Amino acid sequence: MDDINRPAGLRQGAQPVDHPTGRAGRIGVLLLNLGTPEGTDYWSMRRYLKEFLSDRRVIETPRLLWWPILNLIILTTRPGRKGRDYASIWNNERDEGPLKTITRAQAEDLAAHLKGIAGDKVTVDWAMRYGKPEIRQRLQALLEQGCDRILLVPLYPQYSAATSATACDHAFRALMDMRWQPTIRVSPPYHDDSVYIDAVVSSMKRDLAKLPFEPEVILVSFHGVPKEYLLKGDPYHCHCVKTWRLMREAFGWPEDKFRMSFQSRFGPDEWLQPYTDETVKALAESGVKRMAIVAPGFSADCLETLEELDVENREIFLHHGGEQFAYLPCLNDSEDGMRVIRSIAERELQGWL
C-alpha cells in the first residue's frame, strides 16, 4: 500500500501510528531457588522470616492461630539468633548469603552453555521465592528483553508444595497481572533423574577420597516437612526415599551404612522422621566414631547445610563420642552440578530451540 492510499492513522507495516513498541521472539530461562535475607541484622532477618513464615504453602496452620505466634513470638526472638547463624556463613566480599552467590554462578554458567547452542536467542536469569531478586521483577525483565517463551526451573530435586509449588505460585501471580502473558513451561522434579543421581554420587566419591578417614556411616539428610503434609498427599517423602535408594544402590552399600534422615524441623508438630540431629546423636552414642553427612536435596549450599549440618550436627556428633566428622558439599556450580542443570534446561527447551 502506498502512502496516498494508506488509511489515516496507519503507518507502513499496517500498524497504528500510536502502536506501542514491543519485543518478542526470544526464549527466557529463569532459575528459581528458595531465598536468603539481604543482611544479617535484626530487621533484614525479620523481613525475610516474615515473608517466609507467612507463606501458606510453608505454614498451613490456620491464620487465626498462627498470626499471634508469628508476630508476637517468632518475629521477636528468632531474627537475632538466625542473624548470628547467617553471619557465620555470610559471603562478606559480596555482602550476600552463599545461596545467592551460588545461584548467580549457576545462571551465568547455564547462560554461557546455552549461548554456545542457540547464540543470543536465549536469556538466562535467576530469582528467589523469598527475598531478592524477586520472581515478579525477573519475569518482567525477561519480557522486556523480548522473551515470549519462558522456562521456569525450580532448583529443588524433590517436589514439595512448600518449595516447587510456592515458587511457581509466585510466578503465576505475576502472570495474572500481565496483559500479554509469555508462554510458560515448568521443569519437573528430578529426584530420580539418572544425570542427577550420577552427579551426586560422583561428587560424593571425589569428596570421600579426599578425607583423611573412611566413614563408618554416611547419612543422607533431606530438609524436613511436617508429617501432616505427607498424609495430605505431598509426594516429597517418596521422592526423598527414592533419591536415597538410588544413591545407595549406586554405592552398593547396605542400609546400616548408608542412612537417611530429615533436618530443620520447626515447631511442636511431628515432622518426617528419622530426625537428623537425633540420628547423629544416636550414631555417636552407639559407638560410631567416623561419619560423613550429605544433603542432596539442596542444589546449593546454604544455612541449612553450612551451619546446621557442618556446625551444629558436627558438634552433636563430637560431643556424644564421635571422633571424625565430614560434611560433603552440595553440587553447587561444580561441573557435576552444572551437568544436571544443563541437562534439565536442554531437555525442557526441546521444540523451542
Amino acid 14: pLDDT = 61
User: Is 5 a member of any domain?
Assistant: no
User: Is 279 a member of any domain?
Assistant: yes
For residue 133, say if its preceding peptide bond is cis, omega within 30 degrees of 0. yes
Closest to 248 (Cα-Cα) out of 180, 282, 286, 201 = 201
Full domain range(s) for residue 214? 194-328
Q: How far apart are CA 353 and CA 122, in angstroms?
A: 9
User: Is 20 a member of any domain?
Assistant: no
- Phi-psi category of 169—alpha, beta or left, where left has phi over 0 and alpha has psi -120 to 50? alpha
Query: 3-state SS string over 184-212?
Result: EEECCCCCCCHHHHHHHHHHHHHHHHHCC
**Both 71 and 157 in a single domain?**
yes
User: Is 4 a member of any domain?
Assistant: no
With a CB cutoff of 8 Å and minimum separation 6, the contacts of 302 are 34, 36, 97, 98, 99
Amino acid 139: pLDDT = 97
Say if CB 325 and CB 317 are below 8 A apart.
yes
pLDDT tens figures, 126-151: 999 999 999 999 999 999 999 999 99
Give the strand pairing for 122-131 and 26-36.
parallel
Q: How far apart are CA 155 and CA 288, in angstroms?
A: 34
**Both 290 and 304 in a single domain?**
yes
User: Is 110 a member of any domain?
Assistant: yes
pLDDT tens figures, 110-124: 999 999 999 999 999
**Both 225 and 176 in a single domain?**
no
Q: How far apart are CA 39 and CA 87, in angstroms?
A: 9
pLDDT tens figures, 24-77: 789 999 999 999 999 999 999 999 999 999 999 999 999 999 999 999 999 999
Amino acid 22: pLDDT = 59
Q: How far apart are CA 238 and CA 45, in angstroms?
A: 32
Closest to 329 (Cα-Cα) out of 291, 290, 351, 301 = 301
Amino acid 266: pLDDT = 86
Amino acid 256: pLDDT = 94
- Read off the C-alpha cell for 296: 542432596
User: Is 296 a member of any domain?
Assistant: yes
Q: How far apart are CA 246 and CA 201, in angstroms?
A: 10
User: Is 6 a member of any domain?
Assistant: no
Amino acid 148: pLDDT = 96
Give the mean model confidence (pLDDT) for residues 232-241. 98
Amino acid 267: pLDDT = 83
User: Is 230 a member of any domain?
Assistant: yes
**Both 198 and 265 in a single domain?**
yes
Domain at 53, CATH number: 3.40.50.1400
Number of folded domains in the chain?
2
**Both 32 and 161 in a single domain?**
yes
Average pLDDT for the chain: 94
**Both 75 and 178 in a single domain?**
yes
**Both 289 and 343 in a single domain?**
no
**Both 251 and 174 in a single domain?**
no
Local confidence band at 192 (pLDDT 50, 70, 90 cut-offs) = very high
Query: Is 304 within any annotated ligand binding site?
Result: yes
**Both 241 and 311 in a single domain?**
yes
Q: Could you count the other beta carbons within 10 Å of the beta carbon of residue 187?
A: 20
**Both 155 and 214 in a single domain?**
no
**Both 341 and 267 in a single domain?**
no
**Both 120 and 247 in a single domain?**
no
Query: Is 223 within any annotated ligand binding site?
Result: yes
